[in-house]
Amino acid sequence: MNTVAFPQNTNTQYSNSKKLRVVTLNYLPSAYKFATDWIAENGHEHILAVTSPGIKTRATPSYQDMLRLVDRNVTAMVTSKMKSVLTPMLQQIKPDIILCFTFAHRLEAELCQIPTYGAVNIHPSVLPLYRGPNPMRQFYEGAKVFGATAHRIADDYDTGEILSQEYEEMPSIVTQNTAVRWGQLIKKAIANGMERAIWGKPGIVQDDRQASYAVPFTEDEKWINLDEPSSVILRKTFALNLSGGLAKTLINGQPYKIHAAHYMPNLNNKPAGSIIKQHNGTFEVATADGSVKLITELFDPNKKYANPLPRAAFFEQPLTYPTFSRAMA
């Protein structure tokens, strides 16, 4: 396990037994569940759930699904006006802390300074790598590690001081178990990061020289090339489908939507892209170094495909792998 020592500065005004009043900012249902799980597990009070349809360059329609999860005892707010609507509301209710995880709007210093313990953002990558709106690129591109970071909110997206960071090595074969492991790392980053924020402990300044920016997938990147190795096909399909069911491919010249891809240990002598077996929409297809099983349907360009991984996928019990931590002492 790797541990990075963080400077200590204990805030003696906080007690572990104190019930904090928490505001959440989310648009993805899975992110909202992570946030509310932390609130419930620590006995805090969820006083306001904020969401938004997004900004002009980044619409976030999933906010409607998130709203359905809000408990009737929690006030819900839908707004795209941070300065004229959200800031005055926060000044009125005076929360103890803000927990932000998937929220398209930039939060200014004036807003972040209202809560007693400030505002913390959760970014599901190992910052400063893969800043920006598409952390699924860490899987698509086969990064060495994957994980999550809790950081203070700064002027620019995903650039604030790191409060906690959890990560582990990228598996050679990415499966649904990887999503579960990712969920565990996210949960741990939230717990450690929020604790440090509440205790007033400083974080680590990000090294911008090591930063990378994760842009949305292009249309070309959404098409899976079956001439590639099986491991590449699996991680690209995983990343695209976690981003909203985007993975597509051509089989015998026909376009197919890929719902899931599974590793097949079979060796074969067929050219990459050849069909080995087929039953309805399930294909076993030869790859550059073996084969994969693809669960598909004919691609309909007029159909909106949803994220095939349910929220529960992040919270199921996975296999165990070694983890590395940048938790703070």
What are 247-293's pLDDT values in tens digits? 999 999 999 999 999 999 877 789 999 999 999 999 999 999 999 99
Better-predicted residue by pLDDT, 97 or 5: 97
Q: Are 243 and 134 in contact (CB under 8 A)?
A: yes
Q: DSSP readout, 226-288?
A: TTS-HHHHHHHHHHHHHTTS--EEEETTEEEEEEEEEEE-----SPTT-EEEEETTEEEEE-S
What is the phi-psi region of residue 290: left when phi exceeds 0, alpha when psi lies from -120 to 50, beta otherwise?
left
Nearest to 96 by CA among 6, 29, 194: 194
- 147-163 pLDDT per residue, tens: 999 999 999 999 999 99
- 206-248 pLDDT per residue, tens: 999 999 999 999 999 999 999 999 999 999 999 999 988 899 9
Residue 94 makes CB contacts below 8 A (sequence gap 6+) with: 21, 114, 115, 116
pLDDT confidence band for 315 (50 / 70 / 90) = low
Three-class SS of residue 295? strand
Q: Report the C-alpha gap between 324 and 169 in whole angstroms.
A: 8
CATH 3.50.50.60 applies to domain 220-298: no
Q: Please state which of the four CATH numbers 3.40.50.170, 3.40.50.10490, 3.40.50.300, 1.10.10.10 is assigned to the domain occupying 21-212+311-325.
A: 3.40.50.170
Q: Is the pTM of this model over 0.95?
A: no
C-beta atoms surrounding 196 within 10 Å: 26
- 172-200 pLDDT per residue, tens: 999 989 999 999 999 999 999 999 999 99
What mean pLDDT is predicted for residues 119-126? 98
What mean pLDDT is predicted for residues 128-148? 97
The per-residue b/e assignment along 220-255, b for 16 or more CB within 10 angstroms, e otherwise, is ebebbebebebbbbbbbbbbbbbbbbbbbbebeeee
- Looking at the chain, which residues constitute the CATH 3.40.50.170 domain(s)? 21-212+311-325
C-beta atoms surrounding 281 within 10 Å: 14
- Looking at the chain, which residues constitute the CATH 3.10.25.10 domain(s)? 220-298
Is residue 32 within a helix (H) or strand (E), and if so which, with residue range? helix 29-41
Nearest to 120 by CA among 193, 170, 171: 193
* β-sheet bridge partners, residue 50: 25, 77
Better-predicted residue by pLDDT, 58 or 73: 73
Q: Which two tokens stand for residue 59?
A: 């619409």
Cα–Cα distance list, 297 to 22, 276, 281 (Å):
43, 17, 6
Residue 20: Cβ-neighbour burial (10 angstroms; 0-12, 13-18, 19+) = buried
Q: Which two tokens stand for residue 189?
A: 């980053």
Q: Are 48 and 95 in contact (CB under 8 A)?
A: yes
